[in-house]
Amino acid sequence: MIASTIMFAQRNADHMDRAGKRADKMKTELGLDDVQYKAVKAINEDFADKQSKVWRDSTLSKEAKHTQLKVLHKGRKEAIGKVLNDDQETKWASYRAEETKKRKAKMARHQSERAERMQKDLALSNDQTSKIKAIDKEFGAKFRALRADSTLVREDAKEKAKQLRQDYRSRTKAVLTEEQFKKWELQKAERKRRKF
């Protein structure tokens, strides 16, 4: 019980921390004055608290959570819109669009570099490399969709991510020779060991 209380407090702190960081980013990017900053931070913290409660509510169906979260997102956007002036709203929309574009470019670059590294390290043929790139692209989209699905509770999301990793592994294994697959598995284990 103590452990679950600590985990809950940590998750709640994470939500509040992200809410504060988002307000800080908006202050930096938009030149918010102190009144605007306090209002935006309060809106973000209120949203984070309500969002966390929806995620934890085991009585809600997936669809009900999704609906409630959409309402919360819309409410936050409207509340923040009342705090920002027109110029700031335009700048924030532009900033968010640019950040999304950067993330997509970074992911695409990472996928391409990963396939090229595999080609070099495992001596893949051009055909194998193109198949690996296609698999990476497909599963990259699946993982992004999973991360974006705010209707899933954490445990369900973890289970789905685990299943996606297993599917990715089996699809990759089908492209590689037995020797290449063993080498790939050893490389993954080594990278994991270096992280810790």
Cα gap 141→137, rounded to integer Å? 6
Cα gap 41→23, rounded to integer Å? 5
**Predicted pLDDT at 7:** 41
143 with 172: CB under 8 angstroms?
no
Cα gap 150→88, rounded to integer Å? 27
Report the run of H or E that residue 61 belongs to, with start and end.
Answer: none
**Predicted pLDDT at 64:** 83
**Predicted pLDDT at 185:** 92
**Predicted pLDDT at 17:** 87
Per-residue pLDDT of the chain (196 residues; tens, 9 = 90+): 444 444 444 444 577 888 889 899 999 999 999 999 999 999 999 999 998 888 888 888 877 888 888 899 899 999 999 999 999 999 999 998 999 899 888 887 887 788 888 889 999 999 999 999 899 889 888 988 888 776 777 778 888 889 999 999 999 999 999 999 999 999 888 877 776 5
**Predicted pLDDT at 3:** 40
159 with 180: CB under 8 angstroms?
no
Residue type, 178: E
**Predicted pLDDT at 9:** 44
Report the run of H or E that residue 129 belongs to, with start and end.
Answer: helix 126-148
DSSP-H helix ranges across 31-85: 34-56, 62-83
What tokens were used for 74? 């819309």
